[in-house]
Structure 1
Amino acid sequence: MGDAAENDTLGVLDRMTSILEAFDQDDHGLGISELASRAGLPKSTVSRLVTTLVRQRYLERDGRRIHLGLRVFELGQLAAGPRDLRAASLPALADLRTATRHTVHLAIRDGRELVCIAVLRSSAAESTAVRAGGRLPIPCTALGKAVLANSTVREIDEILSVKLDPCTTRSITDPTVLRRQLDDIRGGRPALSLEEFRAGVSCMARAVFGPAGAVVGAISLSGSADGFDADRFDPALRLAALRVASRLSQGASGAV
């Protein structure tokens, strides 16, 4: 393949990726104009590429609305790291939800964000839970703080060295304050987000560690800020994180 043809192929892949990444968790289908605006591409280009992506099942049409297709979901399930962590975690997550009657999330880091890979909702969680596959900011969430506190100094500096955008009026945007919180988390306290991500919702989290001792994700409990009792639920949360780490270690050693 010549350089010109290769560059053209890469350009098409970049444009297709821009279209797929234009969707977010709150979308209920997008029109061509909205897709083009979000992807930063001409409508004619988006219309042509959408036709190809629909044919390949990466997108689906519902009248004039476009949705992510089944093939995207299928490929997502093949990602070994998230799949294995989720499988190892589900029994502990289910017991944690039963014990606390709060919504449980499991998330992993992806650059400057988290990706939620499992959600077990409480009966009253419709407006508080993030869907599986949804992305979360690191500094405003308990999950993010739990992961970041157990990351390297360089990774912490990368996150806190740029302007921190608030999610609510209670979000902490002062890096010095956040660094003190990270120190407390490393000292054994749970990570907390008290209405910092969503007004009226509080959350607590603990990191999950892999067989090599590195942080691989975090588990959280979330619920209404009114009466949220972190001290009461922390033992159950801590136990859940330890159970997941144990199962990951057993998997790494070949135990069934």
Structure 2
Amino acid sequence: MAPTNSVVTAVRVLEAVGERQPVGLSDLARAVALPKSTVQRTLRTLAEVGWCVTDDTARWRLTYRAFAVGNQARDAGGLRAVAVPVLHELQLATGETVHLAAPDGRELVLLERLDTAHRLRAFLPLGHRIPLHASATGQAYLAACTPAEVDAYLAGPLEPSTRHTVVDPDLLRARIAEVRERGWSVNPEGLSDGIAAVGAPVLGPDGRPVGALSVSGPTVRMSEEVFDDHGRAAADAARRISRDLGARP
């Protein structure tokens, strides 16, 4: 196996372990579509350098080294450090869970989550990958993109996350247009059943979107009666963060 191919294989196996851990060799080989012998050899190499470990049941998981390195990338662009103080204020003002996410390909990656004190609440783990079309953060992010970028995204696969997810490109274009006019997105149960959210884009110095934030909660609290109030609060918080990042009004 060529050195470049070995690195690609190692990354694929590492990502698959992270998504499925703890995971057995056979399931992992099927997930990455590689021979079991290749996957096993890769896992042994990853174990030697401290990235993976196996338990008594021969299932594999990531070590805390992966967390340590990943956490360094969590705020490589400085977005989280600037946003967190504003996010705290937003969480206190709305009383619901607040999320901050940044783009990675056709998805957003969750960088920060500030939880509500309510026992019934929205929950996504840090590092969770969020489809743009199915989420309040994603739709807000798309609303800040160029029409060409939106067209390119909508031309790709649009898989439903729930039965409420909007996957029709024309309906999504209409929703994105509403976000641009209103200033925030509204996404009832599009990403998770029983959870509604409002979101707003965060812009960088060049006016381009660098992420998005959301206010999320169970539909018993996040109802149409609070969408506008929470949406305005989210949009105001996003504008403040964008300004602190150097974006012009």
TM-score w.r.t. the length of structure 2 is 0.89
Instruction: Using the aligned pairs only, state the percent identity.
Output: 33
What CA distance in whole angstroms lies between the structure 1 residues aligned with 2:35 and 2:121?
Answer: 35
Choose which of 172, 194, 215 in structure 2 pairs with 1:221.
215
Output one character per residue of 1:55-107: Cα deviation in whole Å (capped at 9) or x when no partner.
21221333322112222222223338645111111111122112212111111
Moved over 6 A (4+): none
Aligned residues: 243
Which amino acid counterpart does residue 184 of structure 2 have in structure 1?
A: P
- For 2:40 and 2:119, the matched residues in 1 are separated by 37
The 8 Å contact of residues 120 and 218 in structure 2, kept in 1 or not, is answered as: no
Residue type of the alignment partner of 2:246: S
Deviation, structure 1 residue 136: 0.9
The 2-side partners of 1:245 and 1:32 are apart by 45
Distance of 1:163 and 1:62 partners within structure 2: 37
TM-superposed CA distance for 1:125, in Å, is 6.5
The more displaced of 78-87 and 189-198 is: 78-87
Structure 2's unaligned 5+ residue stretches are: none
What is the aligned-residue RMSD (CA, Å)? Answer: 2.1
* 1:175 paired to 2:169: yes
**Alignment of structure 1 residues 21-32 onto 2, 5 Å:** 21-23=15-17, 27-32=20-25
Instruction: Report deviation, 1:174.
Output: 1.5
SS of the residue aligned with 1:115? strand
Q: Which residue of 2 aligns with 1:3?
A: none
Q: Give 2:232's match in structure 1, choosing from 231, 235, 243.
A: 235
Q: Distance in 1 between matches of 2:44 and 2:218?
A: 43
Secondary structure, aligned partner of 2:124: coil
Amino acid at match of 1:144: G
Note closer, same or farther for the CA distance 1:92–1:60 as it changes in structure 2 (3 Å cut): farther
Give the letter for the 2:107 counterpart: E
Counterpart residue identity of residue 203, structure 1: A
Distance 1:234 1:68 in 2: 38
Counterpart of 2:235, as a letter, is R
The 2-side partners of 1:152 and 1:50 are apart by 42
Q: Please show how residues 1-80 of structure 1 align to structure 2 within 5 Å.
A: 8-23=2-17, 27-63=20-56, 64-79=58-73
Q: CA 1:157 to 1:81, structure 2 compared with 1: closer, same or farther past 3 Å? A: farther
Q: Is the 8 A contact 2:75 2:81 kept in 1?
A: no
1:86, 1:117 within 8 Å by CA — same for their partners in 2? yes
Displacement after TM superposition at 1:126 (Å): 7.2
Q: Which structure 2 residues correspond to residues 155-194 of structure 1 after superposition, within 5 A?
A: 155-194=149-188
Could you tell me which amino acid in structure 1 is paired with residue 95 of structure 2?
R
Q: Which sections of structure 1, spanning at least 5 residues, go unmatched?
A: 1-6, 251-256
Range with greater deviation from structure 2 (112-121 or 162-171): 162-171
Aligned partners of 2:121 and 2:218 also within 8 Å:
no
Does the 8 Å contact 1:103/1:125 carry over to 2?
no
Is the CA contact 1:82–1:117 (under 8 Å) kept in the aligned structure 2? Answer: no
Q: Structure 1 length as normaliser, TM-score?
A: 0.87
Contact 2:86–2:241 under 8 Å retained in 1:
yes
CA contact (8 A) 2:205 2:245 kept: yes
Q: Which moves more between the two structures, 124-133 or 167-176?
A: 124-133
Aligned-partner Cα distance in 1 for 2:45–2:109: 27
Give deviations 1:129-185, integer Å, cap 9, x for gaps.
111111011111111100011112221011112342211111112211111111111
Cα distance in 1, alignment partners of residues 41 and 121 from structure 2: 37
Change in CA separation of 1:103 and 1:23 when aligned onto 2, cut-off 3 Å? farther
Partners of 2:141 and 2:246 in 1: how far apart? 19
CA displacement 1:45-64 (0-9 Å, x = unmatched):
22221111112122133332
The Cα offsets for residues 19-58 of structure 1, whole Å up to 9 and x where unpaired, read as 0121455x44112222111111222222221111112122
Q: What SS does the corresponding residue of 2:158 show, helix, strand or coil?
A: coil
